[in-house]
Amino acid sequence: MYYTIMDTCVGEILIAGDKQGLRYVSFCQGKHPQEIQNDWEENQTFLQEAVDQLEEYFAGKRRKFSLKLSPEGNVFQLKVLKALEKIPYGVTKSYGEIAEQIGHPKASRAVGMANGRNPISIIIPCHRVIGKSGKLVGFGGGLDVKRKLLLLEGADIKEEQAYEKTLSTAGR
Residue 57 to residues 41, 50, 66, 150, 171, Cα–Cα distance (Å): 25, 10, 12, 12, 32
Give the per-residue SS3 of 29-68: CCCCCCCCCCCCEECCCCCHHHHHHHHHHHCCCCCCCCCC
Of 51, 22, 26, 62, nearest to 139 by C-alpha is 26
Q: How far apart are CA 124 and CA 85, in angstroms?
A: 5
Q: How far apart are CA 70 and CA 53, in angstroms?
A: 17
Catalytic residues: 126
